[in-house]
Amino acid sequence: MPQTEIPNILSTLTFLPLIGAVVVMCLPRPRDIAAAGHGHGHDDAHDHGSADTRPVFDPNRQLVNGVAFLFTLVTFLLSVMLFLKFNSSFVDVAARNMQFVERADWITLGSVHIQYHLGIDGISLLLIVLTTFLSMLCVLFSTQNKERLKEFMVFLLMLETGMIGVFCALDLVLFYVFWEAMLIPMYFLIGIFGHENRVYAAVKFFLFTFAGSVLMLIAIISTYNATGSLDVVALSNPASLAATKLHHLDPQALLWMFGAFSLAFMIKVPMFPFHTWLPDAHVEAPTAGSVILAGVMLKMGTYGFVRFCLPIFPEQAQSMAPVFITLAIIGIVYASIVAIVQPDAKKLVAYSSVAHLGFVILGIFTFTRVGMMGALIQNINHGISTPMLFFIVGMLYDRRHTRQISEYGGLKKHMPMMATMLLIATLASVAVPFFNGFVGEFPILQGTYISSVTGIVPTAIAATGMVLSAVYMLWWFQRLMLGPVKQEVNKHLPDLNKTELAVLIPLVVVVFWFGLGSPYWTHRLETAVNLEVPVEVEKINEDLPILRAQFLNRVSHDRITSRGKHNEEDSRPMTIHPEMEIIKFKDIPPPKPPTVRGMMKAGASAPAAGGGGGGGARTAPKPRQRFHAEQPTATSKSLNAKKLEGSR
């Protein structure tokens, strides 16, 4: 199968926004709209927001907006193309390697060899699509910005390049370059366009992240000195020379290196003791900045764990898992409780982010496939629901110039559309079934339960996080939208305008698409997850009485399935596509022994499947499913492949 028609599609995708930034930089500067700047608080209560003050027609303004939007749109379309072309087959061995790989020598100086090495797997694919999608919406939303529009667009586009680069880079130094370079535009977005305490927040954000990552740089160079390789793929493959060299190091040294990597990612996520920069940065950032921060930047931390920490330092990650799980659970509960008492709408959403990301880390460190899968889904889900919340809070702020929850109340009467959107976002964030949040959080808790690293007590504690999230989110919604209108000025607020609707509607679509038809998205993750948590690493708690038989069954089943499927040097077993198993579960009422494991997996996505068979993307025919369930041997290979072709 030809992988791509556009040569160097990843480079194009990465640097197109940067080209866009340069083009926008060269455009004439639009006039500022003087009416309302940022940071004027209550003084501007009579400015009824962007919907009323139609900007005077300014061709430069239109030009800057148009060009910036065009570039993000094209980038987004390219990423969609990437998504469609991505080979997510479960039988094609090529699909288990990095795809769309680009490789060239970048720096060769003395004994230093750094490569320009890009490539993606399922995990990065979804994050890239999320990045381009959110960037596009941010540019769309920010077309209403009043001041220094051109700079805003330039920084947003530069940021997009950095973010896509982080998700594509497979050379440690290249990754580091994107990782750091990305801080600069974000620093400016917060610092120039933020609210009252913006300088403090911007500097705190920069220093925290930099402090973590500079130690990671030392770990990167130590890795290079020990192995002579900066190639993430080679280092992650335990059979490779580089990884062998690395694991011959002193265990103590390896632990420190793992620690340095983890620290950078823990700060970025942010995990419990390092989260203090996040509420500040979120609250002070302009809307688009908060959206990108919550939607994409925090994902880089979790992505870092999945891409670097776990595969390169598997033993260290496993031995340190209790620490991470403890911190994650503390983070979930603590951030949820703090979120309840926040008087500031944006800060509340910021703390909810800390809690949600705690779930992601929890799922990753359970070392179960279900948990990892849930974590990665939750990663994306959080990137959809939280940006939506931030957009809506931003829209409220544009109208009233305050973020205090107590200033609002009863908005539903005069802003029915906004109330609807906010309700959708709130429910998605609370993880109500049918909404996207549920699809992620449920498997995480399931993984936490069945994992031998955690067990029932951590699961119970973490599950209180879900309850608490309902408390703070629903109460938040109630205080904003329901009840009597307390303030006169709130009666005259305009409802959503066209731009705002155009920003929110795609998000609503994705919320439901993900909530109801998640396998369409997640089967692209499956291969990567299976490689990430191979059976020999998976930590299923075999003492759990009910599940034990099922899992023993599952493991042996996996081994059978794997026989004859792959090349000889490839000993990693594979699981079956969750999608098939869901249907299997539905279609074949009396579960036969092999399908018991289908139950387990179906448990993860059953609500999704129950919700009407998904977003219509799946048209898997029944006979093949049955065949596959009964004879999971080499013969299913071709059928499987055909089926996947069909489902595309």
Partner 1 sequence: MILSNGASLAAIAPILAVMITGMIVLLGDSCLKLWRQAKWVSPTISVLGLVVSAALACSLIGTSGQQLAFSGALTADAFSQACNIILAVIAALAVMGSATYLENRGLQHGEYYVLVLFSTSGAMLMAAASELIVLFVAVEILSVALYVLAGYARTERKSEEAALKYFLLGAFAGGFLLYGIALIYGGSSSIVPGQVGTTNLRALGIYLHQMPAPNQMFIAGTALLMVGLAFKAALVPFHMWTPDVYEGAPTSVTAFMAAAAKVGAFAAILRVFNAFIPISEYWLIIVQVLAVATMFGGNILAVVQDNVKRILAYSSIAHAGYLMVGISALTGSGAATDALKAEAHSAAMGGITFYLLAYGIMTMGAFGVLIWISRRGRDVQTLNDLKGLVKTDPVAAYTMLIFMLSLGGIPPTMGFMGKWFLFYATLQAGQLWLAVTLALASIISIYYYLRVVWVMCFTEPDENAVAPGRAVASGGVVVSLIASAAATLLFGVAPGLLHSLMDAASTVLRP
**Is the Cβ–Cβ distance between 328 and 359 less than 8 Å?**
yes
User: How far is Cα 571 from Cα 558, in angstroms, rounded to an integer?
Assistant: 11
Q: At 134, which amino acid appears? A: L
Q: Which of 141, 187, 397, 435 binds partner 1 (CB under 8 A)?
A: 187
Q: Which of 6, 203, 544, 588 binds partner 1 (CB under 8 A)?
A: 203
Q: Is 376 in the site for partner 1 (CB under 8 A)?
A: no
Contact segment (CB under 8 A) with partner 1 among 69-77, 85-93, 183-191, 234-242 equals 183-191
- Cβ distance to partner 1 smaller for residue 32 or 92: 32
DSSP class of residue 102?
E
Shortest distance in whole angstroms from residue 225 CB to partner 1 = 5
User: How far is Cα 603 from Cα 242, in angstroms, rounded to an integer?
Assistant: 39
DSSP H/E element including 384: helix 369-400
Residue span 93-132 as binding mask against partner 1, x where in contact by CB under 8 A, dash where not = -------------xxxxxxx--------------------
Residue span 61-100 as binding mask against partner 1, x where in contact by CB under 8 A, dash where not = ----------------------------------------
Q: Is 181 in the site for partner 1 (CB under 8 A)?
A: yes
**Is the Cβ–Cβ distance between 126 and 63 less than 8 Å?**
no
Beta bridge partners of 104: 116
Strands (DSSP E) found in 110-198: 112-120
**Is the Cβ–Cβ distance between 574 and 563 less than 8 Å?**
no
Q: Which of 192, 345, 430, 480 binds partner 1 (CB under 8 A)?
A: 192
Q: What is the dihedral of CA 543, 547, 548, 551, to 10 degrees?
A: -130
Contact segment (CB under 8 A) with partner 1 among 89-97, 175-183, 272-280, 346-354 equals 175-183
Q: Is 485 in the site for partner 1 (CB under 8 A)?
A: no
- Cβ distance to partner 1 smaller for residue 111 or 567: 111
Shortest distance in whole angstroms from residue 24 CB to partner 1 = 14
User: How far is Cα 85 from Cα 94, in angstroms, rounded to an integer?
Assistant: 13
- Cβ distance to partner 1 smaller for residue 187 or 367: 187
**Is the Cβ–Cβ distance between 511 and 424 less than 8 Å?**
yes
Q: Which of 23, 98, 101, 217 binds partner 1 (CB under 8 A)?
A: 217
Contact segment (CB under 8 A) with partner 1 among 86-94, 214-222, 526-534, 580-588 equals 214-222
- Cβ distance to partner 1 smaller for residue 252 or 567: 252
Which two three-digit tokens encode residue 489?
Answer: 């000025």
User: How far is Cα 381 from Cα 425, in angstroms, rounded to an integer?
Assistant: 11
Helices 369-400, 345-364: crossing angle, 10 deg rounding: 170
User: How far is Cα 379 from Cα 373, in angstroms, rounded to an integer?
Assistant: 10
Contact segment (CB under 8 A) with partner 1 among 201-209, 233-241, 449-457, 615-623 equals 201-209
Site residues (CB under 8 A) for partner 1, limited to 225-254: 225
Report the interface residues with partner 1, using CB under 8 A.
106-112, 173, 176-177, 180-181, 183-184, 187-188, 191-192, 198-199, 202-203, 206-207, 210-211, 214-215, 217-218, 221-222, 224-225
